[in-house]
Homo-oligomer: A and B are copies of this chain.
Amino acid sequence: MAGELESLELCLERYIPPQDLAEVKRILYGGETRKLSLPVAALSSAQERDFELQGYGFDAAPEQLRRPRIVRVGLVQNKIPLPTDTAVAVQVAALHRRIEEIVEVAAMCGVNIICFQEAWTMPFAFCTREKLPWTEFAESAEDGLTTKFCQELAKKYDMVVVSPILERDEIHGGTLWNTAVVISNSGAILGKSRKNHIPRVGDFNESTYYMEGNMGHPVFQTQFGTIAVNICFGRHHPLNWLMYSLNGAEIIFNPSATIGTLSESLWPIEARNAAIANHCFTCPINRVGTEYYKNAFTSGDGGKAHHDLGHFYGSSYVAAPDGSRTPGLSRTRDGLLVVEMDLNLCRQVSDKWNFKMTGRFEMYADKLAEAVQPCFTPNIIRE
């Protein structure tokens, strides 16, 4: 992508001398994250297949009664490989192939749980407000082609797969949802989780297509750890993260699709804040590149009709409960981020900072219940 900075972290590393860089990283990121040594074959496969491969690790202190609970997660960010006016089935097949070659490398890196980007089987076409052909990308979460494809991957690589798709819910009137399907490493469908908060901002006209999720905040106990999926716009809602955490999630994925001019200064803040506030790992994922549409559309900003909604800036990363984080993947390239984490860190940080113990949730349950009443009187003190 001409003119786009490839990565904030590479830029800092290029210019800042080592002694100051260490201090800058400590203040910005909570220190230098341990680099993972990844297999040479995986690194060369990634290079051949033209995607970035990075690996980092988070450690925890040894305990007497619990063994380390080491898990490797994989975050995948990618461009759409074909133009948006290619036939729907052809686009989907091309995305399946692209993901297949990335997942193969993830398996070589020992990834246990992998998550793809939001609505990964399609262009993020909700900017157009057109229904056809975009709604044709919707699939059944239970027996759609993409779910079957992910079940095969899960079995083949003994890997939990989180597959965020546009869901067609046939047994409820054929409605659409923005849904993540969670597939066990056995290949069985563990369940699904729906996007709880739907944007009405800029080109993100998603409420034209689907409503707020009606499944609450399920968490999924996998062989490798307890996970949840907070889809895209839910990233902006601290209570959404909190409820996944109160249900027991130790890793919360945040598959997203968001562009530079809208949200890039929020991106490093919100998921990381959620990891801190909830003593868990968070994994925000964003797609990459610019997607062009044949029919022009406006953006609700008074500007002229145009054919794209801007640059999806990638920058997927993992934040740890201790406030540290990995560098982000590229702003411009497809990528796989492999992160090893000892899940024991969650409880260790919780016992240190005690945000749940000191959270006074009972008071807030009462206060929120008051605040939503039509007759609510804010607590304003006047002279």
A residues touching B (Cβ–Cβ < 8 Å)?
5, 8, 11-12, 15-17, 20, 23-24, 26-31, 182, 184, 186, 188, 190-191, 196-202, 212, 216-222, 226, 233, 236-239, 242-243, 246-248, 263-266, 268-270, 272-273, 276-277, 323-324, 352-355, 357-362, 364-369, 371-372, 378-383
Q: Return chain B residues, CB-CB under 8 Å to A242.
A: 238-239, 364
Closest A-B pairs by Cβ, 10 of them: A30-B265, A238-B238, A273-B273, A365-B368, A365-B369, A247-B378, A239-B364, A265-B323, A266-B323, A15-B15
Residue of chain B at shortest CB distance from A331? B27
A334 to chain B, nearest CB (A): 20
- Assuming A11-B20, A236-B276, what are 10 further A-B pairs, CB within 8 angstroms? A5-B20, A12-B12, A186-B383, A197-B358, A199-B354, A219-B381, A237-B360, A248-B378, A269-B269, A361-B371
**How far is B360's CA from A374's CA once the two chains are assembled, in angstroms?**
14
A272 to chain B, nearest CB (A): 5
Known: A12-B24, A20-B5. A380 touches B269 (CB 8 A): no
**How far is B352's CA from A20's CA once the two chains are assembled, in angstroms?**
38
Contact status B11-A358, CB under 8 Å: no
Contact status B201-A243, CB under 8 Å: no
Contact of A226 among B182, B186, B323, B380 (CB under 8 A): B380
Q: Return chain B residues, CB-CB under 8 Å to A357.
A: 200
Q: Return chain B residues, CB-CB under 8 Å to A216.
A: 367, 379
Counted per complex, copies of this chain come to 2
Contact of A380 among B29, B188, B248, B323 (CB under 8 A): B248
Contact status B191-A381, CB under 8 Å: yes
Contact status B353-A236, CB under 8 Å: yes
Contact status B276-A270, CB under 8 Å: yes
Q: Return chain B residues, CB-CB under 8 Å to A268.
A: 27-28
A176 to chain B, nearest CB (A): 18
Q: Return chain B residues, CB-CB under 8 Å to A265.
A: 26-31, 323-324
**How far is B18's CA from A195's CA once the two chains are assembled, in angstroms?**
40
**How far is B158's CA from A159's CA once the two chains are assembled, in angstroms?**
65
Contact status A383-B190, CB under 8 Å: yes
**How far is B17's CA from A141's CA once the two chains are assembled, in angstroms?**
49
Known: A20-B5, A243-B367. A378 touches B219 (CB 8 A): yes
Q: Return chain B residues, CB-CB under 8 Å to A197.
A: 358-360
Most-contacted residue by chain B among A5, A239, A264 (CB, 10 A):
A239
Contact status A11-B28, CB under 8 Å: no
Q: Return chain B residues, CB-CB under 8 Å to A381.
A: 182, 190-191, 218-221
Known: A219-B379, A379-B218. A26 touches B190 (CB 8 A): no
A183 to chain B, nearest CB (A): 10
Known: A26-B264, A27-B8, A190-B381. A354 touches B201 (CB 8 A): yes
Q: Return chain B residues, CB-CB under 8 Å to A11.
A: 16, 20, 23-24
Contact status B221-A380, CB under 8 Å: yes
Contact status B362-A372, CB under 8 Å: yes
**How far is B372's CA from A366's CA once the two chains are assembled, in angstroms?**
11
Residue of chain B at shortest CB distance from A277? B238
Known: A27-B264, A378-B248. A243 touches B364 (CB 8 A): yes
Contact status A247-B360, CB under 8 Å: no
Q: Return chain B residues, CB-CB under 8 Å to A365.
A: 365, 368-369, 371-372
7 contacts between A and B (CB under 8 A): A5-B20, A221-B380, A226-B380, A237-B358, A238-B273, A246-B367, A269-B323
Q: Return chain B residues, CB-CB under 8 Å to A352.
A: 201-202
Contact of A8 among B28, B266, B383 (CB under 8 A): B28
